[in-house]
């Protein structure tokens, strides 16, 4: 497992840090795979398939970055690997269940579990990943970490349930959208960096500052994800796009468009939304995309994401100078520049 190259540009990154992170991520991969090993071949085959989903390793890297930011490279302890593998496993579980919710066929340029083995197996495999994440977390022997991650997964599910309860709600406000995003995506990202810092012995003020920065980065990350679902290319993102439109899931570009639209424009857009099919790639969807790009709603959503990143960067800039701060700065900047 190599670190996302966008995060490890050698021109910008200290080589010692880069090599250490790469080694740590390899070890985290070992912890991850050892945890999922079963005596049942049917289970192992499924886990092998899911291993392909691991890509950016954003959350494990944030656990490490939090630790390095708090105490330098020497502050990384074995529990960092355990918790880094745990947060990645929680993330994998949400991907597998999200693909069921989104009826998605493609993930990381390959078939999804639900596409290959049916929704039933995907539901149960997601459960197996959640269960193993909590089991792995418990091996660290730190009940306060269990408690914290349990709170995060509660929040994450609440975000998904809130989003489901607003499917097809054309009056969804920016505020509720951001609350959904804060819960379903930003909560785990923020806790990853905070736990990394705490495991390295960070004082509460530093840990909480990193949690705030992580929340802002997480919100920006999800807004960019939603923009890419709308205007990204499947061959670049490596996953099904157009799912939000197909499922009548309201995301920021659409919300901003409807807020600014005249009554006539709004009516035309709602007609187009009604006309999209469950497959998501049709004339109505293409017309919606064109309209949201042309009237500046996509750019406005990207601007909001950049604003959140700037807020996060301001918090990060207040950290003591060092390789951890540099890494977090680079990670924050990469969020809105990515195309996949």
Nearer to a second copy, 160 or 295 (CB): 160
Nearer to a second copy, 80 or 257 (CB): 80
Nearest to 298 by CA among 258, 254, 238: 254
Backbone angles phi, psi at 111, to 5 degrees: -65, 145
What is the closest distance, in whole angstroms, from the C-beta atom of residue 117 to a second copy in the complex?
8
Nearer to a second copy, 96 or 332 (CB): 96
Nearer to a second copy, 160 or 208 (CB): 160
Nearer to a second copy, 62 or 145 (CB): 145
What is the closest distance, in whole angstroms, from the C-beta atom of residue 247 to a second copy in the complex?
9
DSSP for residue 75:
G
Nearest to 13 by CA among 60, 73, 57, 63: 73
Contacts of 213 (CB under 8 A, 6+ apart): 190, 193, 312, 315, 316, 328, 332
What is the closest distance, in whole angstroms, from the C-beta atom of residue 94 to a second copy in the complex?
8
Nearer to a second copy, 177 or 331 (CB): 177
Backbone angles phi, psi at 233, to 5 degrees: -100, 135
Copy the structure tokens of residue 137.
Answer: 């977390």
Is there a contact between 318 and 209 (Cβ–Cβ < 8 Å)?
yes
Rounded-to-5 percentages of helix, strand, coil across the chain: 75, 0, 25
Nearer to a second copy, 21 or 145 (CB): 145
What is the closest distance, in whole angstroms, from the C-beta atom of residue 11 to a second copy in the complex?
42
Nearer to a second copy, 137 or 312 (CB): 137
Copy the structure tokens of residue 37.
Answer: 């090993």
Neighbours of 270 (CB within 10 A): 13
Nearer to a second copy, 93 or 305 (CB): 93
What is the closest distance, in whole angstroms, from the C-beta atom of residue 289 to a second copy in the complex?
24
What burial letters (b/e) apply to 123-147, b meaning 16+ CB within 10 Å? eebbebbbebbeebbeebebeebee
**Footprint of a second copy (CB under 8 A):** 38, 40, 42-43, 46, 93, 97, 100-101, 117, 119-121, 123-128, 130-132, 134-139, 141-143, 146-147, 150-151, 153-154, 156-158, 160-162, 164-165
Copy the structure tokens of residue 86.
Answer: 């745990």
What is the closest distance, in whole angstroms, from the C-beta atom of residue 200 to a second copy in the complex?
21
Angle in degrees, CA 81, 85, 91, rounded to 5: 150
β-sheet bridge partners, residue 107:
110
What is the closest distance, in whole angstroms, from the C-beta atom of residue 97 to a second copy in the complex?
6
CB under 8 A, 24+ apart: contacts of 161-164: 163/249, 164/101
What is the closest distance, in whole angstroms, from the C-beta atom of residue 202 to a second copy in the complex?
21
Residue whose entry in the numeric block shows the structure tokens 């502050």: 75
């Amino acid at each position: 497992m190599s670190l996302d190259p966008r995060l490890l540009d050698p021109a910008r990154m200290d080589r010692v840090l880069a090599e250490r992170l790469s080694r740590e991520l390899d070890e985290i991969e070992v912890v991850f795979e050892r945890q999922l090993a079963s005596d049942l071949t049917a289970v192992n085959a499924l886990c092998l398939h899911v291993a392909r989903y691991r890509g950016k390793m954003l959350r494990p890297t944030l656990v490490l970055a939090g630790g390095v930011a708090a105490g330098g490279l020497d502050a990384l302890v074995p529990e960092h690997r355990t918790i880094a593998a745990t947060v990645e496993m929680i993330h994998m579980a949400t991907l597998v269940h999200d693909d069921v919710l989104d009826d998605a066929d493609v993930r990381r340029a390959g078939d999804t579990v639900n596409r290959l083995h049916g929704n039933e197996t995907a539901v149960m495999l997601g459960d197996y990943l959640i269960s193993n994440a909590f089991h792995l977390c418990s091996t660290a022997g730190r009940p306060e970490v269990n408690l914290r991650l349990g709170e995060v997964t509660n929040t994450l599910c609440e975000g998904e349930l809130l989003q489901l309860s607003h499917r097809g709600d054309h009056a969804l406000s920016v505020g509720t959208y951001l609350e959904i995003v804060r819960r379903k995506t930003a909560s785990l990202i923020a806790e990853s960096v905070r736990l990394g810092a705490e495991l390295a012995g960070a004082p509460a003020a530093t840990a909480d500052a990193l949690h705030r920065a992580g929340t802002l980065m997480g919100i920006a990350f999800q807004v960019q994800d939603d923009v890419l679902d709308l205007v990204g290319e499947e061959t670049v993102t490596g996953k099904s796009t157009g799912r939000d439109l197909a499922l009548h899931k309201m995301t920021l570009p659409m919300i901003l468009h409807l807020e600014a639209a005249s009554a006539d424009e709004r009516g035309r857009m709602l007609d187009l939304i009604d006309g999209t099919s469950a497959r998501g790639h049709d004339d109505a969807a293409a017309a919606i995309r064109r309209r949201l790009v042309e009237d500046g709603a996509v750019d406005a959503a990207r601007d909001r994401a950049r604003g959140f990143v700037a807020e996060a960067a301001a918090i990060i800039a207040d950290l003591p100078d060092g390789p951890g701060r540099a890494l977090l700065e680079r990670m924050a900047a990469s969020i809105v520049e990515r195309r996949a």
